[in-house]
Amino acid sequence: MAINRERKEELVATYSELLGKTDGFIVAEYRKMSVARVNDLRKRLSDAAGGTYSVTKNTLFRIALEQNGWPVPHDILVGQSGVIFGNGNLPAVAKALQAYTKEKDNGEFLMVKGGVISGSIFRAEEIESVANLPTLDEIHAQLAGLIVQPASLLAGLLESATSQVVNVLQAYLQENESGDAAA
């Protein structure tokens, strides 16, 4: 169905807005997906890390990419394309998408074709590698563990040293008390 010029400009503006908020995007081909399944995918991506899924018009999305200085992955923007935007945490969004694509049922189909991350075009298998990276929350937890571990070791050493000083002082006091009683 043909769309008028005004609607095309509106779509390019929408895609530009989405590109302005994202750290990368993944392009997927979809077929026979019900509205309920698309809404489920959108919810999962949003819950994962604020990801966004948008069915795009390839030609208009290419225009938005060019206008916003993004590389244009011409070979993956073919057919029915849905674009998944990372919005600050692409690995978590990629994980949620990977989990979703493994749940093929009722003849529905969603296949990752590739994407763009940090100005570089990635193929489907490279996007899968991104999905296997730790999420920002997982990295934060690992860093917190690395920071807390030395602090807890230091606290243990200080406690041990303090108790040893107390034991020496207590032994000294007991020795002096017994020496005073003997005199």
pLDDT score, position 104: 63
Half-sphere exposure of 153 (CA within 13 A, CB side): 6
Asked whether the beta carbons of 130 and 91 are under 8 A apart, the reply is yes
pLDDT grade for 154, boundaries at 50, 70 and 90 = low
pLDDT grade for 135, boundaries at 50, 70 and 90 = low
Question: From CA 77, how far away is CA 74, in angstroms rounded?
Answer: 5
**In which residue are the tokens 């303090």 written?**
162
The DSSP symbol for 134 reads P
